[in-house]
Amino acid sequence: MRSDAVTKGMQQAPHRSLFHALGLTEEEMNRPLVGIVSSYNEIVPGHMNLDKIVEAVKMGVSMAGGTPIVFPAIAVCDGIAMGHIGMKYSLVTRDLIADSTEAMAMAHQFDALVMVPNCDKNVPGLLMAAARVNIPTVFVSGGPMLAGHVKGQKRSLSSMFEAVGSYAAGTMTEEDVREFEQKVCPTCGSCSGMYTANSMNCLTEVLGMGLKGNGTIPAVYSDRLRLAKHAGMQVMEMLKRNIRPRDIMTKEAFLNALTVDMALGCSTNSMLHLPAIAHEAGVELNVDIANEISARTPNLCHLAPAGPTYIEDLNEAGGVYAVMNELSKKDLLNLDCMTVTGKTVGENIKDCRNKNPEVIRPVENPYSQTGGIAILKGNLAPDSGVVKRSAVAEEMLVHEGPARVFDCEEDAIEAIKGGKIVAGDVVVIRYEGPKGGPGMREMLNPTSAIAGMGLGSSVALITDGRFSGASRGASIGHISPEAAVGGPIALVEEGDIISIDIPNNRLDVKISDEEMEERRKNWKPREPKVTTGYLARYAAMVTSGNRGAILEIQK
């Protein structure tokens, strides 16, 4: 046992004295030490119930013969951080979470870990840590929020942001907005659509790192507590069998995750997180492969914001395993991958049927024959750009329009809400990438404003920043190389015609190569927006969006 380094032998008597100070008995010290990584806090709605989940995990670990010991991980609520300087601190926490969890796990020599995350960067950050530390690890999230109900319809957080845009357009009253405000987020849990948190929790099941239902059982259901107890018990079984994260998170597992991502219509943020997690697992995952996978993977789900169904509906329809079972009918998954259950993917999903073909389309009758996410390339995005194709209106899949150029998110929002953006325009928001932001802010405010102003089917938005999973429409993010390093998005001028062709995976600005080169000669790097603290260190080390915004020592 790893924990022998802190519990066994005369040399470890000082260590044991500190365990005694914690109130641990010799019997507890003689059992495997299992770290429970708790993301509980009182500022994130998706995390306010995690104390209950953690207690259930502890009980499961104890019942199976382990000694559970809790330590914390931070988490940011992206909704509360949205639209101001706080959003610069969202993506960057992914690496803080991974680093701090690695530090705690290694410093105290835990034998195994149970990760208890829920929201956007918390899940991938802990998956990165699991791959890095590589001791037996199980994930159990806090679960999704139930959908709200407003005026007889199910609603979610994306509806709330769009309501603000509708108010600015004069199509919704202040009283209407206040009703939305009170009702769209009715319970604890990660916000109820297929946004980033729920995308990553669902993909944790696909990767094999979470038990069945981890991504879909609502936060308020008692079934979530039973799941947590089973997770605690299962990590002890993994320890006994020495099943580790890198045995599970193989290249084939990541390809499975990309495939199910396409079928579910997950958040474009998965195109940042999956490569970053793979990198920690020693797997090279180039996002370019996404189009190849998308070309053969049908889109089976239109969960909010792409459609009127929610995670609770996916849960009732059979959950992630039912989606995987549908895909297996076309041999689209590797069924031999190992999982935390100690069984293969194929063994896990074989009896999981689709209980609602309106929520999970049968593989023979998909929403589309191709997946929910597309990678675009062209002279505006030589490395890549990402769009949630399943949430784009049909008429915007191919579009040309004049560039309306803004060097920060705030200026774009002011123009949109001020009525200065009109049908046909292509809003360009730059210098918001991983390095230029710094921190690669999400653009839910401007995309929601566009939708709320009634322009969702006539205006596109491109950025070197990124989008919340709640964004919909022709919203193309992760443009790489980013503006801060002189990428072509930095060279776009007001009025340039931008050509978007999502079916053919193209994103171009209609200027000649000679004109582009001339503009490049005249471009000068901008002074960093932040020069002190964590953001400055992050900006110095972060790579581009197409590589998952991983951190590297710059040579």
Residue found by looking up tokens 């992206």 in the block: 78
Active site residue: 62, 141, 199, 468, which one? 468
Q: What one-character DSSP code corresponds to residue 310? A: -
Distance CA 263, CA 122 (A): 23
- Closest of 529, 442, 522, 447 to residue 490, by C-alpha: 522
Distance CA 75, CA 65 (A): 30
26 backbone dihedrals φ, ψ, rounded to 5° = -60, -35
The string of DSSP codes covering 40-86 is --SS-TTTTTHHHHHHHHHHHHHHTT-EEEEEE-----HHHHTTSGG
Half-sphere CA count of 370, side-chain side, radius 13 A: 16
- Give me the sheet containing 137-139, strands edge to edge: 67-72, 33-38, 112-116, 137-139
List alpha helices for 453-512, DSSP H: none
Which pair of structure tokens corresponds to residue 513?
């190569």
List alpha helices for 358-442, DSSP H: 409-417
247: which strand partners? Answer: none
- Closest of 536, 377, 347 to residue 462, by C-alpha: 377
Contact 102, 109 (CB under 8 A): no
507: which strand partners? Answer: 500
Q: Is 483 helix (H, G, I), strand (E, B) or coil?
A: helix
Residue found by looking up tokens 């960057």 in the block: 92
Contact 204, 127 (CB under 8 A): yes
Q: Is there a catalytic annotation at residue 3?
A: no
Distance CA 329, CA 346 (A): 11
Point out the residues that are catalytic: 468
